[in-house]
Amino acid sequence: MRVSISDRRISVVPGVPTYLTVTITNTSEVIAGYSIRFLGADPEWVTFDTPDARLFPDASTDIRVGLRLPVGVPAGARRMAVQVRELTAEQAVAIEEIVVTVPDQPGLGLRLDPSTVTAGRRGEFGVVIENNGNTVLVGALRGVDAEKKIDFAFTPGQFRLAPGETLTGRLRTKAKRPVFGALAVRPFGLFVDDGVVRASAEPTAPADPADPFAAAGPAAEEAPTPAAAGVFIQKPVFARGLLSMIGLLLAVSVFALVISVALTSVMARSAADRDLALQVAQARYAATTATGTAGFAGTVRLLSDGQPIAGVSVEAFDESDTSVAVATTASDDQGVFAIGNLPAGTYKIRMLGAGFSEVWYPAALTDADAQSLTLSAGQRMTGLSVLLGGVPATISGTVLGTDVAGATVQLQIPLDSPIMQGLVGAGAGDAAPESGNGAIVRTAPVGADGTFTLAVVPSPGVYDLVVSKMGFSTQVQRVDVAAGENRSGIEISLIEGDGSIAGTVTSADGPVAGATVIASFGQNVAQTVTLTQDAIGTFTLRGLQTPGTFTVVVSAPGYAPATLSVNLSEGQQLTGMSIPLGKSSGTLAGTVTTPAGTSSAGVTVTVTGGSVTRQTVTQSGSSSGAWRISNLPLPSTYTVTFSRADLESQVTSVTIDANGVVSTGSSAVTSIDASMRMSTGRITGTVTQAAYGTGISQPADNVQVTATSGAATFAVTSASTPEANRGNFVLENLPPGTYTVTFSRKGTRSMSSIVTLVAGQHIELTPNLVSPASITGRVMMGPDAVSGIELRLYTAEQFGTAAAPVMVTRSDSGGGYAFEDVDAPAHYIIEVRSAGGSIALTTSSAITIAQSDSAKYDFTLESLS
């Protein structure tokens, strides 16, 4: 059998199949079957187009082997082998080693959580860095913003990530905060400085001036693409919404005050309003005396929220005489007005409405300050817009209850009103804003008799009246105030909280003392702590407004907060609640044991779950092999990996529930223990050899023991001392694989064994070598044996030189002699000398001997001198 491989060194990219060809040739004289295996790789990684072959003599076949390493295999070179076994005849095995190289594939994932932060001068982002390549990455993060106004600070400053490892860090941003105006939107990008060259993104669209990373021309196309992008939104010190609200309220108040002072007829407003209402009604139907083809059109809206106003009288005056209107109309339900049939000329327009202040177009208090509008013949001027503010209103009423003194009444603009749109309110997907949380317009104390008055209220408008007092439930009543209205007779009941919630806060370890319990419903908030003695863990929340739905939040150091919703009916006293708290973090611990003779210290223990990765090493000393990792988020499932260079890695999966209970599979455990094996194997044994002439085997020293696997060779020599260890050998630290173990000794035929070694395995071999080569014979003189004659053994190459003999012996009483343990194969010459060794009597011809052969050569002497 002959086996060859197309490539003995291949590069394999994880996830991408790589192929090589194995050629098998049948060198025997019979039909033979062969099976092929791939050693050193998981069987699921390897495919064969034909795992078995059957060949005629001298026939060959090619078998295509596909190797697909899983994604995540670390970079580097590793040795593997192709094994071909003959299924017939001698069951021969051929092993061909290959070197598989996994190239470096750096990969890094970077994201911000959240990617957008709204804050003032400083913002804080979470940074998640993940090494999704197959090599260790070492580097640092760098932030860049196009305006160069942000200072970036990363924690940690640098990172070192093994393949598959994840690190959670923090990014703090700082920039000068705008004082007034709109939000400052500051986009930025994160770059990774780790020595890895990453491709630049090709621009696919024209440059966007608002994007600091968009392509800005030919020179910008080479700019690197950020690994992650974020936005730091800065709120101004004085927000636009706040300024708008202050300006609006100030304008309304000043406008109302000016109108109140300017119009002496305000005291008789009711009569004027009736007259004005009649005037408006007449205007709707009155025919104007003017005739022509020009005209005006526009819209009348509320100053406070921009809503249209119906029934406002609109009068047109000739610029030269503003005492008599030349045309009159009124706004419809949409606030729209139109005056037509006017001759060419210059005009001024005045707006009057019941409860509203008089306004000359566009926003003047007198005709002298009004804007003149010039019309040509046939011209129709449209799009005129006028804002009217109502005469300040007054709201008064009574707060009912047993103890109303000290209560406060607030007048608030509701968050869901049109004026607050775009300033404050619920975002997309958020719940609608609750009543009683609006913008405060007026505040007034409640007298001892329960009365209150809110004066100079901008009108018209819709408001929330919010009555509150410590120990009582907050009451909210919505009122709709007409322009200039004097609203009175409002009654609001101040109700003392009559509901309660009582119960116990518990955990897996028992009641929890000192836990904080907060119940909230709108502005009604109650708080307490659980008892630390007597009835430990119990609590009672009193004075709760009913009926209502309360959000109860329970928190305690070392525990994860619990939130639940509780419904209380009218006057309900809820008791017997049991609120369980889970631990905020858990702990994994255990012990690692290693094979005898090795230390259990220094084993790396890695715990990974989601975005959390923690690592430690086993201890030394009296607690050798012990390990512990704390502060693990709960509940979660974690993968625990045990590794050390000289040991075979182990992986186990554990689950920690909300109470910190650890389980593997379906059973709870208190310790995660691991018993590890060596990552290498060993071959040991004792070599014996049959002694010359007896056939009895004895330990053999100085035997060369060689283990070969592909290009790797390991060799030792069997021991010669001490006598008790004679013939012993040990081959240690052998990588897993298939080895050919050969035993060689001078003059002896070698023998071999094939063994397959897995990690941590110990294989024992006891080979018995055949007897070594020897040369024997007799020395005769005639019929008589000659004893005491000296015989010298020389190699044929050294005979006749000054070289010393290889061996020397003497003939025994029967004339016999023997040279044992002769090195072979070799050619020898024996020289026979006299008993004193001084006279050469004769020499042999060249004697050729092979390993473990026994040659015989007899001598016949003519004389002894």
Hey, what CATH topology would domain 243-388 get? Immunoglobulin-like (2.60.40)
Which range is least confidently modeled, 169-173, 524-528, 841-845? 524-528
**3-state DSSP assignment of residue 695:** coil
- Residue 264 confidence (pLDDT) above 50: no
Which band of pLDDT confidence, cut at 50, 70 and 90, is reported for residue 579?
very high
pLDDT digits (tens, 9 = 90+) for 583-623: 878 899 999 998 887 888 989 999 998 778 999 999 988 88
Q: Is the pLDDT of residue 83 over 90?
A: no
Residue 397: per-residue pLDDT: 93
pLDDT in tens, 616-671: 999 988 888 999 998 888 888 999 999 998 888 889 999 988 888 888 877 888 89
pLDDT at 474 over 80: no
Phi, psi torsion values for 24, nearest 5 degrees? -115, 130
Establish how many alpha carbons lie within 13 A of residue 723's alpha carbon, considering only the half-sphere containing its beta carbon: 0
pLDDT grade for 517, boundaries at 50, 70 and 90 = very high
pLDDT grade for 3, boundaries at 50, 70 and 90? confident
Neighbours of 723 (CB within 10 A): 9
Helices (H), 307-395: none
The span from the CA of 627 to the CA of 229, in Å, is 39
The pLDDT, as a whole number, for residue 239 is 56
> Distances from the Cα of 733 to the Cαs of 736, 762, 765, in angstroms?
9, 10, 16
CATH of range 393-425+433-493; options 2.60.40.1120, 3.20.20.140, 3.90.1170.50, 3.30.70.260: 2.60.40.1120
Query: Phi and psi for 785 in degrees, rounded to 5?
Result: -75, 145
Return d(Cα 740, Cα 92) in angstroms, integer.
12
Whole-number Å distance between alpha carbons of 232 and 353: 48
Residue 32 parent element (H or E): strand 32-39
pLDDT of residue 418: 61
Q: Which residues of 605-623 are buried (b: 16+ CB within 10 A; e: fewer)?
A: bbbbbeeebeebebbeeee
Residue 449: C-alpha distances to residues 406, 466, 479, 489 (Å):
11, 18, 22, 14
Backbone angles phi, psi at 723, to 5 degrees: -60, -35
- Residue 185 φ/ψ region, left for φ over 0, alpha for ψ in the -120 to 50 degree band, beta for the rest: beta
Q: How confident is the model at residue 43, as a pLDDT?
A: 83
For the stretch 210-245, pLDDT in tens is 343 343 334 334 456 788 888 888 888 765 555 555
Q: Where in the chain is the domain with CATH 2.60.40.10?
A: 2-102, 243-388, 585-675, 681-769, 773-860
Q: Which two tokens stand for residue 540?
A: 């009672």
**Is residue 484 over pLDDT 80?**
no
Average pLDDT, the chain: 82
Contacts for 783 with CB less than 8 Å, ≥ 6 apart? none
pLDDT of residue 242: 54
Q: pLDDT, tens digit, for every residue of 294-342?
A: 898 999 888 766 788 888 889 999 988 888 888 889 899 899 999 988 8
Task: Tell me the percentage of the chain whose pLDDT exceeds 90.
Answer: 29
Looking at residue 607, its pLDDT comes to: 93
**Fold of the 2-102 domain:** Immunoglobulin-like (2.60.40)
User: What is the Cα–Cα distance from 171 to 153, expressed in whole angstroms?
Assistant: 6
User: Is the separation of the CB atoms in 633 and 560 below 8 Å?
Assistant: no
Split at pLDDT 50, 70, 90, the class of 287 is very low
Average pLDDT over residues 98-112: 86
pLDDT digits (tens, 9 = 90+) for 453-465: 998 888 788 888 8
**Over residues 96-121, mean pLDDT:** 85
Contact yes or no for 437/415 (Cβ under 8 A): yes
pLDDT score recorded for residue 817: 94
pLDDT bucket at 263, cuts 50 / 70 / 90: very low
Per-residue model confidence (pLDDT) at position 90: 64
More confident residue, 362 or 389: 362
CATH 2.60.40.1120 domain locations along the chain: 393-425+433-493, 499-580
Q: What fold, for 499-580?
A: Immunoglobulin-like (2.60.40)
- The model's confidence at residue 182, banded by pLDDT at 50, 70 and 90, is low
pLDDT tens track for 400-425: 887 888 889 988 887 766 655 544 44
With respect to CATH, is domain 585-675 assigned 1.10.357.140?
no
For the chain, helix, strand, coil in percent to 5 are 5, 50, 40
What is the CATH number assigned to the segment(s) 108-196+226-234? 2.60.40.2310
pLDDT at 206: 41
Q: Which fold has domain 773-860?
A: Immunoglobulin-like (2.60.40)
Give whichever of 386-395, 655-664, 699-708 has the largest mean pLDDT.
699-708
645 vs 66, higher pLDDT: 66
Q: How much is the average pLDDT of 176-193? A: 81
DSSP state of 804: P
Tell me the chain's radius of gyration from C-alpha atoms. 51
**Neighbouring C-alpha atoms within 13 Å toward the C-beta of 463:** 25
Given the DSSP bridges, would you call strands 184-193 and 137-144 parallel, antiparallel or unpaired? Answer: antiparallel
Percent of the chain with pLDDT over 70: 86
Q: Region 766-777: what's the mean pLDDT?
A: 92
Pick the CATH number of 681-769 from 2.60.40.10, 3.40.50.300, 1.10.357.10, 3.30.230.70: 2.60.40.10
In this predicted structure, the answer to whether residue 285 has a pLDDT above a threshold of 80 is no
